[in-house]
A and B are shown apart, each in its own frame.
Chain A
Amino acid sequence: MPEEVLAIRHLKKNFGELTVLEDISFSVGEGEVIVIVGPSGCGKSTLLRCINGLEGIQGGEILLRGTPVPKKGKDLTKVRQKIGMVFQNYELFPHLNVLENILLAPMKVQKRTREDVKEEALAMLSRVGLESKAESFPRQLSGGQKQRVAIVRTLCMHPDILLFDEVTAALDPEMVREVLDVILGLAEDGKTMLIVTHEMQFARAVADRVIFLDNARICEEGTPELFFDKPKTERAREFLKTFSFQRKSRKRQEVS
């Protein structure tokens, strides 16, 4: 059993009257890749936001390497360095160029030297094929390039766990691949990741374990093979059906 990086116990979250997450419990081991899927509005993104304290929680606990994630203040800031998050809309800082975007947090938060981080940043940029864009500004990049920079920016903080919140949802289809390939590469490296996505093919390829959320609860949990091929619950079967297409009839058959 690998060491437990993140543990969530009986997490409860509501926005006023609306219950968004109810009794969520699971844990993520070192080097494990967990993909969270589920219909829109089931609370997937909120779950990620709760983990690094962007949303408050109403019950239960979130433990990072055995210590609870604080609600706010300096301690939360410290823990957030250990939890990397990549957002749907990249959220690069538009007034800084690619390199400065990446260097900011390691230099200001972790007080590392510029040379040290720069070397690492350039190495990572070249790994995602963007070494020539180090001096570019975010507005000069395509969506897929921005998202790769956002991933590098998060990686340079050396987080214990990476959270990906529908990172390809805002991209044009042909750019999805380049971003997902980067994430697949990270999985190969043994990074611990929690991924929310609507790309089922990708989920199947990258996941060690799939969690299916529906109606604020964990509805099903299992290996990708089991979940995608033999889903246990009716809800999961219905959900997966929305991703496969079938014509009821074929014109050729009609003719004959």
Chain B
Amino acid sequence: MPDLGFEVLLKGKNMARLLGGLGTAMQISMISVAISIFLGIIVGILMAWKNPISRAVTRCYLEIVRIMPQMVLLFLVYFGSTRAFGWNLSGELSAVIVFSFWGTAEMGDLVRGALDSIPAHQYESAWALGLSSGQVYRYIVLPQTVRRLIPLAINLITRMIKTTSLVLMIGVVEVLKVSQQIIEANRMSSPNAAFGVYLVVFLLYFAACWPISLLAGYLEKRWR
């Protein structure tokens, strides 16, 4: 069996550092996910409104986010804002801003899709029972929307977690950056470490996303 350089991970605090890096990545993605879900629901409701102005504005927002690579957004917020406005945003904060901006748009579109999929008759039968529009949303539309959203939102969340690997480009020391550092530092002693370390990184990402997928599967079954 070729030397895959696993022993590097056992040196010093390397494994702990790697886990710390994963922690940073998870922190950024979880904060962004929380913000995205909250704002995404509001944006999604605006998108589903029949109002042409709210439709146009949210449509533009969604298209911008879809067209712009996340990397460009990261550079724009991290480097651009410093030059243009003199703000000194930390890498982590920039990352949270960008991922929330992106996640909100994507989440909003998912919410809009789920809202649109609730048949008009559901609203009508609820109105016919005397429920006010607020109550119709709260008790009828939102619970059904959430159930339809779960699988789609989980997909988005795992994508957000995976995309946090980009933040190493703006100097945030997350799991991928740590692994690069470890590989660099051990270039001479274990030149094959790249494979082993990246394999572990792969497993770490898997370990982070797998439970979320399991949860989604469980909720889908329970709410079918």
Contacts and interface: CB of A to CB of B under 8 A. Distances in A.
Nearest to B146: A95
A139 B122 CA distance: 15
A93 interface: yes
A85 B124 CA distance: 10
Contacts of B140: 93
Contacts of B144: 93-95
B135 interface: yes
A139 to B, nearest CB: 8
Contact of B128 (A74, A80, A92, A110): A80
Interface residues of B, number: 18
A104 B129 contact: yes
Interface in A150-186: 150, 153-154, 157
A192 interface: no
B130 A109 contact: yes
A89 interface: yes
A164 to B, nearest CB: 12
B122 A93 contact: yes
A151 to B, nearest CB: 12
B121 A89 contact: yes
Interface in B103-135: 121-122, 124-132, 135
Given A95-B223, A104-B139, A87 B125 contact: yes
A83 to B, nearest CB: 8
A109 B131 contact: yes
A91 B119 CA distance: 10
B130 A153 contact: no
The 9 closest A-B CB pairs, nearest first, are: A81-B130, A91-B125, A105-B129, A85-B128, A80-B130, A109-B130, A91-B121, A77-B132, A95-B143
Given A77-B127, A77-B131, 14 more contacts: A52-B128, A54-B127, A77-B132, A80-B127, A80-B129, A80-B130, A84-B128, A94-B144, A95-B143, A95-B223, A105-B126, A105-B131, A110-B130, A157-B129
Interface of A: 52-54, 74, 77-78, 80-81, 83-85, 87, 89, 91-95, 104-105, 108-110, 150, 153-154, 157
Interface of B: 121-122, 124-132, 135, 139-140, 143-144, 147, 223
